[in-house]
């Protein structure tokens, strides 16, 4: 029976993965900034068969408590086999309208928090004999995307850190899976930061028409179980990742034509 800790578990990919793991009989620790939004997910996970579900709310923009948060998650279920670093925040502002305060806020949640959790949980996993770390990036972390300068930067940065972690700790029994979603039906656009740092409040057409979070969870959970180094999750939009790899100039021209939303 595995123990799984998921951040960003109150909705979208995180909630769907929690339900998938619950159906497989895993013990769960669920984290997001809102205990109120976590509780319905926890109740559903219990009904699906999870023998233990611990709700551990935390605001990941607060770096001071990450070590304690990790210790609490670890102790809550007697050790973590899989940690899924999924929490994130996006934006809908161009470079000129993106304040440095917004950039730092996005980086704190999307990059520094998962890095800090990984650093805190890593020695525990190594001492225990191994474990799996999954981190959610984005296709916006593979190529620049309009109205996402801070968001794309944070997702690009995750690749650098977690690919390094993969290389350094592979022989210590630490598996790292980088999860790269395209358009998935989540609420991320609703809470994306607009000019002035206010929530965007609109479900973007790309999100609305994307892959279901449930289907994404099936792909992600399977990839983690198989020890995949990276998993692309989405539909035809994933083609841009391959275009960037082989035809970067074409990718740049296509990116300029993406309708901002």
Over the chain, what is the mean pLDDT? 94
Lowest-confidence pick of 3-12, 121-130, 208-217: 208-217
The DSSP letter of residue 259 is P
At residue 199, the pLDDT reads 81
Cβ–Cβ < 8 Å for 60, 109: yes
pLDDT of 261 above 70:
no
**Residue 85's beta-bridge partner residues?**
135
15-36 pLDDT, tens digit per residue, is 999 999 999 999 999 999 999 9
- For the domain spanning 3-257, the CATH number is 3.40.50.720
Cβ–Cβ < 8 Å for 241, 142: yes
Place of tokens 């790269």: 180
Q: What is the pTM of this model?
A: 0.95
Confidence of residue 260 (pLDDT cuts 50, 70, 90): low
Residues that are catalytic:
151
| Nearby residues of 104 by Cβ (< 8 Å), 6 or more positions away | none
Lowest-confidence pick of 162-166, 181-185, 256-260: 256-260
pLDDT of 205 above 90:
no
**Residue 199's beta-bridge partner residues?**
193
> For the chain, where are the alpha helices, taking DSSP H only?
12-23, 35-48, 66-76, 100-107, 113-128, 149-169, 205-208, 213-226, 239-246, 248-257
Phi, psi dihedrals of residue 113, rounded to the nearest 5° = -65, -50
pLDDT of 7 above 80:
yes
DSSP for 182-226, written as a single string: -SBS-STTTS-B-TTS-B-----HHHHTSB-HHHHHHHHHHHHHH
At residue 108, the pLDDT reads 98
A 10 A CB-CB count for 202 gives: 14
| Nearby residues of 152 by Cβ (< 8 Å), 6 or more positions away | 138, 140, 141, 143, 144, 145
pLDDT of 259 above 80:
no
Alpha-carbon span 67 to 118, nearest angstrom: 10
CA atoms within 13 A on the CB side of 171: 2
| Nearby residues of 72 by Cβ (< 8 Å), 6 or more positions away | 56
At residue 255, the pLDDT reads 85
């Amino acid at each position: 029976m595995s123990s799984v800790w998921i951040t960003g578990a109150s909705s979208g990919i995180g909630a769907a993965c929690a339900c998938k793991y619950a159906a497989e009989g895993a013990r769960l620790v669920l984290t997001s900034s809102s205990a109120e939004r976590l509780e319905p997910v926890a109740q559903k996970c219990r009904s699906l068969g999870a023998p233990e579900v611990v709700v551990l709310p935390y605001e990941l923009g607060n770096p001071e408590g990450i070590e304690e948060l990790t210790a609490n998650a670890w102790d809550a279920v007697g050790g973590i086999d899989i940690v899924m670093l999924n929490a994130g925040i996006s934006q809908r502002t161009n470079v000129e309208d993106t304040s440095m305060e917004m950039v730092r806020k996005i980086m704190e949640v999307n990059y520094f928090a998962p890095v800090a959790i990984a650093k805190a949980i890593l020695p525990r996993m190594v001492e225990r004999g191994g474990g799996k770390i999954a981190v959610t990036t984005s296709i916006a972390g593979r190529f620049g995307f309009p109205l996402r300068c801070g968001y794309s930067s944070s997702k690009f940065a995750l690749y650098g850190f977690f690919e390094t972690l993969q290389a350094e700790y592979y022989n210590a029994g630490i598996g790292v899976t980088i999860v790269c979603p395209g358009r998935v039906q989540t609420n991320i656009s609703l809470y994306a930061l607009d000019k002035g740092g206010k929530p965007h409040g609109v479900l973007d057409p790309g999100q609305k028409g994307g892959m279901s979070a449930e289907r994404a969870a099936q792909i992600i959970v399977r990839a983690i179980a198989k020890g995949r180094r990276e998993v692309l999750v989405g539909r035809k939009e994933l083609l841009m990742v391959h275009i960037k790899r082989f035809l970067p100039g074409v990718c740049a021209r296509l990116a300029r034509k993406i309708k901002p939303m």
